[in-house]
Chains A and B, each alone.
Chain A
Amino acid sequence: MTATVSTPQSGHSEDLLALAASVLDQAAGEEQVEVLLSRATSTTVKVYEGQVESLTSADSSGAGIRVIRDGRLGFAHCGSLDPAVLVETLREARDNLEFAESDEWNGLAAPDGVEVVAQNGWSDSVVAFPVERKIALALELEQRVLAADSRITGIRSTAYGDAWGESVILSTAGIQAVDRGASCSISTQPLARVGEETQTGFGYDSGRVPESLDLDHATVEAVDRATRLLGAVKPPSARMTILLEPRLAISLMGIVSGMLSGESVLKGRSPFGERLGEQIASALLSLTDDPTRSESIGAEEVDGEGLACRSNLLISDGVLQGFLQDSYSGRRSGSASTGSAVRGTRSLPGVGAQLLVMQPGTRSFEQLVSSIDLGLYVNSLSGMHSGVNSISGDFSVGADGLMIRNGSLAEPVRELTLASTLQRLLLDISEVGGDFEWLRGGDGACSLVIQDVSLSGA
């Protein structure tokens, strides 16, 4: 079997740029127009019980067009790069503008002289990887996970996925940006069973070279996660110290970074809006949003408005240093864009963090555990969308994990909640681990020890 591969042109997306330019040519008089075009090719192989369960091969494309006139903004998007559809989409964006209200701060991003830090997001080896080998990788991972532990009785799904694509942003304000990228990943979700009890795990790896995907790492992680909770019971309620591994620490930092969006601040939705220069977190915490870090798979050259990505210090030794801005919030707040616009073709840019990096402490994960008399090492969190409110700061999530007793990991627990407020959690950080790692999603994170969290159980 041969793979159908539509390789993006090896040059610099000239055809997409030409297409975008043809839309800009239709801009009339006072009108500001921005065009985002993208196309991508992806494959997903799912295997189950030694067979290919599904193989999806997909080409997708899309466009988003933003028009601003007299301070009014209109937007339209489409799932096509057909020139006739783009003309129609531009017309809809213009029509939408007629009904929006004027806002003196509306405008497109303009080149600000910040140099792009070149990244190498492309990968010929992902594009060239034959379908048969994608299938073989997924099957091998499934086999390894099943063979790793007798308590693993099945796997809900094991998958190989890859995607490559390119996008261009072109605007009448002088923006011209091209972004190309390719990556691949493997994942598995085993089920561990003893008696009537089933627990689940998850293992994952990602990268830009399919041959280097770490099946061993994914296997160990998935099997360990699935088996270590077997026998878990509901613990009694108590206030205690929790230990979040880097993967979970960064999900907390992700919520915090959302509270540091300049847009939330302008609209009175951030509890930290008036606290620039103040201590909002433990002095042990320093956090930066830095998409220019080439060591990370999440590194980016430009933001969602085509401005160069840059390093933005958010919290230094616990003191709030700044907010993230896109061109609108930067202009309106009297500062400037920090290159922090995030978006897809289907939406207008919004403000967001792109690659969070925590500054590491000194002690290893094992040392962190051994320093805790009574605590919870968290295995997973649930309900982050339903019990965390970044405006009020209320924080309440479901969790499971392993108790820490006298400095050692102890019995597994489940069906519990952890609660505090986001403001308190930041101040209650008692240690940042020295176990810094680049997560497979891109962020750079360390473990966090947080004191005095309400654990609700039996």
Chain B
Amino acid sequence: MLEEPTIQRVLAAAASRGADFAEIFAEEKRSSSALLDDGRIEELTSGRDRGAGIRVVVGESTGFAHTSDLSEAGLIAAAETAASAARGSGTGTTIVDLDRVNAPRPNLVRIMPGDVPKAKKVELLLMANEMARAEGAAITQVSARYADSHRRILVANTDGTLGTDEQVKTLFSISAVASGDTGMQTGRESIGRSVGFELFDTYEVGDLARTAAQRAITKLAARPAPSGEMTVVIGPGGGGVMFHEACGHGLEADLVGKGASVFAGRLGEQVASSLVTLVDDGTMGGEWGCFAIDDEGRPAQRNVLIQDGILVDYMWDGLRARAEGRASSGNGRRQSYQHLPMVRMTNTYLLGGTSTPDQILSDTESGVYISHLGGGQVNTATGDFVFGMTEAYLIEGGRITEPLREGNLIGNGPGVLTSIDAVGNDFAMGGPGTCGKDGQGVPVGDGVPTLRVASGLTIGGTAA
């Protein structure tokens, strides 16, 4: 994207007023999507963005400027703006030697989505529509979306880092509406991986369509969710959203550093049931939150956050790590070249245990079984978090019985983590997610085996 001599001159301009650290982040992104709705291919969209963000750090202050002009003159103008914003006072003309970062690419792409004829993408949508509607006359509306993106990044900084990465992602999602005497209900399913069009060699869109349609149809007969605290069993896969909210955000070093996390000052302590080993892993091949280097040029890492219930470490970006005199954990990410990096999760998951899912269920006298979760939200300072259940059932006498309507659950992170009393041996990754923090969205993955939270979760239903 940029030549080394240009990079060096731009970094020199960025550091010209004196800087502890200066960085160029250049990005080129192509995206395409196709949408089917109301029985028809409604729109195809293509997008292209390129630009660079220049960051200059002086002491505790960061200056940042970005430009869509990748010419040397454009970059130097942005570098000077960033340098002036960082309010450095001094001079610095050092040209740094750049070392290329060698990081393994976790996302090997066989079929570049850009090389696939649009007609083939459209075909997938039409098939999904047909399959979803074939599930029954109750299905009254279907929308489906195909999307791919190809993001190339280059990061260079005055520490001598020079890294590049190429991130390809492919996504397919489908939503169905079922109508009956009880009104309308919805079902959704999606698959997204950091791979190319070969995604559809592994996943049948027809299966996704059937799942989404059945989810909607099942809920037509659902009863209102209960209200109050109950034992909750979460099925394998998407339940990772709970950990993302219950403790993931609270283990981000920027929030911890500002005293805005209930997990601040608790390193080395038992913060969860001893059944809990939680990992954040940017190296997981093909997963939605994987990459070779993070958006600060740091190779992706597998970081154990909680080991057998003991808090082992937080997640770090370059800025927070620098202040603590330690290395970044490869969690410095940003939405685009127009954003400053901050501490973000990658793929966050709970390691599998020894119980079989059947044991966990049959051992649960009464409660709620959640097989598909929606998004969530957390207040890291108090630890209170919510997450949505989009497919859930009552558990009665150790068996899954009636379907429940949608709703949120609320709990407090530390309380819920210590109340996990069973972890299954059926680990699976969940669907693709977008994590939002301070206005920036980044792709994240998560996964869990079947697990049980004995107490601490309140079901936000209406039934007494």
A77: chain B residues within 8 A (beta carbon)? 45-48
B-contact 0/1 string along A191-230, CB 8 Å cutoff: 1010001111000000000000000000000000000000
Check A92 against B411 for contact (C-beta < 8 Å): no
Select one of A51, A55, A92, A383 contacting B63, CB under 8 A. Answer: A55
Query: In the complex, A454 Cα to B407 Cα: how many Å?
Result: 12
Select one of B37, B49, B259, B260 contacting A78, CB under 8 A. Answer: B49
B-contact 0/1 string along A382-402, CB 8 Å cutoff: 110111010111101110100
Check A392 against B183 for contact (C-beta < 8 Å): yes
Say yes or no for B388: interface residue by CB 8 A criterion. yes
Check B185 against A99 for contact (C-beta < 8 Å): no
Number of B interface residues, CB 8 Å?
A: 81
B87: chain A residues within 8 A (beta carbon)? 1, 52, 55
Given contacts A54-B340, A73-B42, A96-B45, contact A415 B411 (CB under 8 A): yes
Check B44 against A396 for contact (C-beta < 8 Å): no
- Considering only residues 72-98 of chain A, those with a C-beta below 8 Å from chain B are 73-80, 85, 88-89, 92-93, 95-98
B60: chain A residues within 8 A (beta carbon)? 48, 51, 53
Given contacts A199-B381, A415-B458, contact A96 B386 (CB under 8 A): no
B65: chain A residues within 8 A (beta carbon)? 56-58
Query: In the complex, A57 Cα to B87 Cα: how many Å?
Result: 13
A-contact 0/1 string along B409-420, CB 8 Å cutoff: 111100000000
Given contacts A55-B86, A200-B379, A385-B375, contact A75 B406 (CB under 8 A): no
Check A418 against B460 for contact (C-beta < 8 Å): yes
Query: In the complex, A93 Cα to B43 Cα: how many Å?
Result: 10
- Report the minimum CB–CB distance from B428 to chain A (whole Å): 21
Check B462 against A99 for contact (C-beta < 8 Å): no
Given contacts A389-B186, A419-B461, contact A237 B258 (CB under 8 A): no
A391: chain B residues within 8 A (beta carbon)? 177, 184-186
Query: In the complex, A75 Cα to B262 Cα: how many Å?
Result: 46
Query: In the complex, A455 Cα to B38 Cα: how many Å?
Result: 37
B-contact 0/1 string along A83-118, CB 8 Å cutoff: 001001100110111111101000000000000000
Query: In the complex, A56 Cα to B215 Cα: how many Å?
Result: 45
Query: In the complex, A78 Cα to B44 Cα: how many Å?
Result: 14
Select one of A75, A389, A400, A456 contacting B44, CB under 8 A. Answer: A75
Q: Which of B189-197, B224-232, B446-454 participates in binding chain A?
A: B224-232
Nearest-neighbor residue (CB-CB) of B264 within chain A: A198
Query: In the complex, A420 Cα to B406 Cα: how many Å?
Result: 11
Query: In the complex, A283 Cα to B376 Cα: how many Å?
Result: 34
- Report the minimum CB–CB distance from B385 to chain A (whole Å): 8
Check B50 against A79 for contact (C-beta < 8 Å): yes
Say yes or no for B408: interface residue by CB 8 A criterion. yes
- Considering only residues 171-188 of chain B, those with a C-beta below 8 Å from chain A are 177, 179, 183-186
> Which of B141, B183, B260, B460 neighbours the largest number of chain A CB atoms within 10 Å of its CB?
B460
Check B43 against A100 for contact (C-beta < 8 Å): yes
Query: In the complex, A73 Cα to B42 Cα: how many Å?
Result: 7
Given contacts A92-B46, A200-B260, A454-B461, contact A57 B85 (CB under 8 A): yes
Nearest-neighbor residue (CB-CB) of B411 within chain A: A415
Select one of B119, B179, B340, B408 contacting A417, CB under 8 A. Answer: B408
B43: chain A residues within 8 A (beta carbon)? 73-75, 96, 100, 348
- Report the minimum CB–CB distance from A1 to chain B (whole Å): 5
Query: In the complex, A91 Cα to B38 Cα: how many Å?
Result: 27
- Considering only residues 60-97 of chain B, those with a C-beta below 8 Å from chain A are 60-68, 81-82, 84-87
Query: In the complex, A383 Cα to B385 Cα: how many Å?
Result: 9
Say yes or no for B401: interface residue by CB 8 A criterion. no
B34: chain A residues within 8 A (beta carbon)? 99
A-contact 0/1 string along B259-299, CB 8 Å cutoff: 11010000000000000000000000000000000000000
Given contacts A54-B61, A268-B179, contact A456 B186 (CB under 8 A): no
Check A456 against B458 for contact (C-beta < 8 Å): yes
Select one of B47, B384, B405 contacting A76, CB under 8 A. Answer: B47
A-contact 0/1 string along B29-60, CB 8 Å cutoff: 00000100110111111111111000000011
Select one of A157, A268, A385, A454 contacting B227, CB under 8 A. Answer: A454
B-contact 0/1 string along A355-394, CB 8 Å cutoff: 0000000000000000000000000001101110101111
Select one of B41, B258, B461, B462 contacting A101, CB under 8 A. Answer: B41
> Which of A78, A88, A383, A400 neighbours the largest number of chain B CB atoms within 10 Å of its CB?
A383
A269: chain B residues within 8 A (beta carbon)? 141, 177, 184
17 interchain pairs (CB within 8 A)? A57-B64, A73-B43, A89-B48, A99-B121, A101-B40, A199-B381, A237-B464, A267-B37, A382-B379, A383-B377, A386-B376, A386-B377, A387-B407, A387-B408, A396-B407, A415-B410, A456-B227
Lowest 5 A-B CB distances belong to which pairs? Answer: A417-B460, A386-B388, A387-B408, A396-B407, A96-B44
Q: A76-B45, A95-B118, A419-B227 are in contact. List 8 more A-B contacts (CB 8 A).
A: A93-B46, A96-B45, A191-B258, A383-B410, A386-B374, A386-B388, A394-B405, A417-B409
